[in-house]
Structure 1
Amino acid sequence: MNKLKNKSILLLAVLAMAVGSMSACHSDDKEKKEQQEEEQQQDAVETPTVQIVPLTKGRLSSNITIPGELIPYQQVDLYAKTNSYVKKLLVDIGSEVHQGQLLAVLEAPEINSQLAAAQSRIKQFEAVYFASKATYDRLVSTSKTPGTVSQNDLEQAEAKKNADQANIDAAKSGLKEVSANLAYLEIRAPFDGVITSRNVNLGAYVGPGGKSTDPLFTIQDQGRLRLVVSVPEVYTGALSNKSEVNFTVRALPSEKFTAQVKRIAGALDEKLRAERLEMDVYNKDKKLLPHMFAEVSLPLPAGDSTYVVPKTAVATSTEKVFVIKVVDHKAVWVDVKKGLSNGDSIEIFGGDLKPDDKLVKAASDEIRNGSTLKY
C-alpha cells in the first residue's frame, strides 16, 4: 500500500510540473506576440506606409452655386411735385401701363390764378414797352434835324425801351414756369410697366407740403429683370461677361432658367468683399416676379494650366494648408493655396513644386515633416 501511495504522489508531482511548464511557455509566447505587435505599431508610426500620386498640370473648370435676387430692370416712385389734391385716379395696383400714359390728374386752383396773373403781367409790360418804343422812335426821327434832340435824351429813351423789353422777357419766363407747374398736375408713366403700389385716394392732399412721404405710385418694368449676384473675391478672377448661367427659384423648383452675364462691376464691395454681377432675364410670360430669390449656378472656366491634385492630397491644419512631397523616402511639408475644385480634384498654387513630384495621396498632419515613409 505504501508503494502504491508513493507512486501516486510521484505521478501528481510530475503532472503539476508539466502543467507549470506549459503555462510558462504560453505566457512567454503571449509576451513575445504582444512585443512584436507593439514593435510593428511603433514602426508604423515612425515609418508609415503611404500611397503616392505624381504631380501633374491641368485645367480645371468648376461651378459655384450662390444666391441671387431678381430685381426690376427699371423701377420708379412717382411723387407730386406741387401741393395739390387728387382729382382723378386712372390706374390701380396691377395695371399695365405704357410710356406717356396718364395715370392721375391733380388739382391746384392757385396755379390757375398764378397763370392768369402771369398772362396779365405780360400784357402790362407790353403796353409799357410799346409806349417807350414809340417815344424812342419819335426822338430818333426828330434827331435827324440837327440841334432838336440832345444825344443824352436819345440814349435815355433807348435805355427805357430796352428795359421794358427785358421786363416782357422776364414775364414770359414767369409764365413758362407757371405753365410747367400746371403740367405737373398730370402724372404720366415714364416707361412701359406695371403699377405695383398706389398710396393715395381721391381728394388726398399731396405734394411737398403733404403729410405723407409715400409715393403716389410705384411702377416697375417686369418684362425684363436683372438677376443680381455678389461673387466672393476668391472667384472673381475667373469671371467673364460672356458666360451664361442657370438658375432656379423656389416658387418654380421644377423649372430651370438661363441668363446672360451683361454687367460686371469691376470692383469689390467694401462690406461684402464681393463683386457685383448683373444678368438680363427676359420675362415675357411674367412667371418670374421682382425680388424673388434665386439659386444661381455660375460657371468658372479654367484659366492657365495649374497643378491639379486629389482633394485628399491637400491637408489643412490650424496654421497652414499644405501637401506632403516625398523626397528620398522622407516627408516634406510644402505650403500651398487652394484654387478651384471640381469633384475629387482641386487646384493648388505656390510652394516648391515641379511636375512629376511625388505627393502623398492621403495627406494629414499625423505624417510629420521629415518622417521616413514607405510606399
Structure 2
Amino acid sequence: MSSEATLHSSEKLSKRGLRLAGLVVAVVLVAVVVIGLITRATQASSLKTWTDEQAVPTVNVVMPEPGKTGPVLDLPGRLEAFIRAPIYAQVSGYLKDWKTDIGAPVKSGELLGEIDTPELDQQLVQARADLASAKANSELAGTTAKRWQAMLGSDSVAQQDVDQRTSDYTAKVALMNAAQANVDRLVAAKAFARIVAPFDGVVTARDTDVGALINAGGGTGPQLFVVSDIHQLRVYVQVPQSYGPSIRPGSTAVLVVPEYPGREFHAKVIATSNAVNANSGTTLVQLLVDNTDSALMPGAFAHVRFSLPVDGTALRVPASSLIFDNAGLRVATVNDGNKVAFKKVSILYDYGKSVEIGAGLQAGDRVIDSPPDGIKDGDAVKIASEDATAKPHEKA
C-alpha cells in the first residue's frame, strides 16, 4: 500500500510540472510575439520618420556680400607714336642721296636726304636775271623822273610829261619788287631740296632711294620718310558705352603686350572722345604710356586692363547658385520659414567662379548654393549647417 501511494503521488507531481512548463513556454512565446510586434511597429515608425526627413532636401546657403575690389575691364588697344610726321617732297627732282635709314635716331633739323632740282635751279637763274633787269630799268626810270622833276621848275617841260615819268618810275619799282619776290619764292623752294627732321625722334620709314623721281606732292604724293617721336606712346582703346562713365581723364590702366610676357606697363588716361560711335557702341579713349627705354613699338597691339571702381550697391554670389531656365535668370533663397523663394536677378559682372548681382538681391538674403534639381518655389528645405547662414561665401 505504501509503495502504490508513493507512485500515485509521483505521477501527480509529474503532470503538474508538465503543465507548469507548458504554461511558462506559452508565456514566453506570447512575450516574444508581443516584443516582435512592438519592435516592428517602432521600426516602421522610425522608417516613416526617416523617409519624411529624407523627403526634405538639405541645402547649403551663402550670404551675398559687396565686393572688396572692382572688376577688371580687359580691352584690346593699339599703340601710336606720340608725334608722327610723314615727310613729303615740296619740290620736284631726283633724290640725290639719303643720310638716315629706318631706326636711326635724329635731331630736329638733321638732314635726312637731298633732292637734285635742275629745273628749279634754271628757274632761279632766270628769276635772278629778271630781277637784275628790273633793277636796271627801275634805276633808269628813277633818274629820268628826277631830271624831269628838276626841269619842271624852269617851265621847260609840261606837268603832264613829269607825271608820266614819275608813274613810269613807280611801275618799274613795282616790277623790280615782283621780280625780287619771285627770286625769294624760288630760293625758299630750293631750301626744301634739303629734307630735314621736323623734331627729335626716330626714322620709322624710308620709302625712297637714290635716283628716284621725286614729284612735289603737297601731302598727296608718296611719302619719302616718316619721323616718329616714341619717347611716349599714345594708346587708343574703344571702350563699351556702359563703362564709359567709369573711365575718365586721370584714371590709370595696365598694358600687356605679347612680346613681353609677364611684364606690365602703366598708362594714364589723358582724353576721351566724349562721343559714342553709332556703329560699334563704343567711345574712344586715349592713354599715354612712358617709353623712354623704347621697349614698346608704335603700331603694336596691346591688352589694356582698367581697374573699375567698386559698386557699393552690387552683391556677389557664387556662379553655382544661378538658375537659368524658361523663367529667366534666378537664384533660390531660403525665407524665415525655411522654404524656397525664387528671385529674379541681373548680372552686373561675371568673375568666373562668382558673379556680381546688379539687382534682385538684398544683403540679408540666404542664397542656396548649387540648388538641387526639381526644387520649386515654396518647397521646405533643411539647411546643412546653421553656421552657414552667418558666413559669407568665399569669392573667387
Tell me, yes or no, whether TM beats 0.5. yes
Q: Give a deviation string over 1:281-323, Cα, whole Å, max 9, x none.
A: 22232232333322222111235x3232415465556795556
Is the partner of 1:73 in helix, strand or coil?
strand
Larger radius of gyration: 2
Superposition deviation, residue 207 in structure 1: 1.8
**Separation in 2, partners of 1:222, 1:318:** 55
Does the CA-based 8 Å contact 2:67-2:316 persist in structure 1? Answer: no
Is the partner of 1:71 in helix, strand or coil?
strand
Does the CA-based 8 Å contact 1:128-1:164 persist in structure 2? Answer: yes
Mapping for residues 147-296 of structure 1, pairs under 5 Å: 149-150=158-159, 152-208=160-216, 214-296=222-304
Tell me the TM-score normalised to structure 2 length: 0.68
The yes-or-no answer on 1:121 pairing with 2:130 is yes
After superposition, the Cα gap between the structure-2 partners of 1:56 and 1:96, relative to the gap in structure 1 and judged at 3 Å, is closer
Identity %: 27
**Separation in 2, partners of 1:254, 1:169:** 68
After superposition, the Cα gap between the structure-2 partners of 1:306 and 1:128, relative to the gap in structure 1 and judged at 3 Å, is same
After superposition, the Cα gap between the structure-2 partners of 1:58 and 1:96, relative to the gap in structure 1 and judged at 3 Å, is closer
66, 79, 83: which one aligns with 2:88: 79
Segments of structure 2 that go 5 or more residues without pairing to the other structure are 1-46, 382-396
After superposition, the Cα gap between the structure-2 partners of 1:341 and 1:146, relative to the gap in structure 1 and judged at 3 Å, is farther
The yes-or-no answer on 1:297 pairing with 2:301 is no
Superposition deviation, residue 67 in structure 1: 2.1
After superposition, the Cα gap between the structure-2 partners of 1:306 and 1:51, relative to the gap in structure 1 and judged at 3 Å, is same
Superposition deviation, residue 253 in structure 1: 0.9
Does the CA-based 8 Å contact 1:75-1:218 persist in structure 2? Answer: yes
Q: Which moved more, 1:175-184 or 1:234-243?
A: 234-243
**Separation in 1, partners of 2:259, 2:316:** 39
Superposition deviation, residue 66 in structure 1: 2.0
Does the CA-based 8 Å contact 1:82-1:181 persist in structure 2? Answer: yes
Q: Give a deviation string over 1:61-95, Cα, whole Å, max 9, x none.
A: 12122222222222232232222112122122332
Is the partner of 2:279 in helix, strand or coil?
coil
Superposition deviation, residue 366 in structure 1: 7.3
Is the partner of 2:262 in helix, strand or coil?
strand
Does the CA-based 8 Å contact 2:349-2:355 persist in structure 1? Answer: yes
Is the partner of 1:190 in helix, strand or coil?
coil
After superposition, the Cα gap between the structure-2 partners of 1:310 and 1:86, relative to the gap in structure 1 and judged at 3 Å, is same
After superposition, the Cα gap between the structure-2 partners of 1:316 and 1:153, relative to the gap in structure 1 and judged at 3 Å, is farther
**Separation in 2, partners of 1:87, 1:170:** 31
Mapping for residues 84-95 of structure 1, pairs under 5 Å: 84-95=93-104
Does the CA-based 8 Å contact 1:60-1:340 persist in structure 2? Answer: no
Is the partner of 1:306 in helix, strand or coil?
coil
The yes-or-no answer on 1:307 pairing with 2:314 is yes
After superposition, the Cα gap between the structure-2 partners of 1:200 and 1:315, relative to the gap in structure 1 and judged at 3 Å, is same
Indicate the residue corresponding to 1:339 in structure 2. 348
362, 365, 380: which one aligns with 1:374: 380
Does the CA-based 8 Å contact 1:64-1:298 persist in structure 2? Answer: yes
**Separation in 2, partners of 1:124, 1:364:** 106
After superposition, the Cα gap between the structure-2 partners of 1:357 and 1:195, relative to the gap in structure 1 and judged at 3 Å, is same
Superposition deviation, residue 233 in structure 1: 2.1
**Separation in 1, partners of 2:115, 2:204:** 20
Tell me the TM-score normalised to structure 1 length: 0.71
Is the partner of 1:266 in helix, strand or coil?
coil
**Separation in 1, partners of 2:269, 2:202:** 25
Indicate the residue corresponding to 1:23 in structure 2. none
Indicate the residue corresponding to 1:3 in structure 2. none
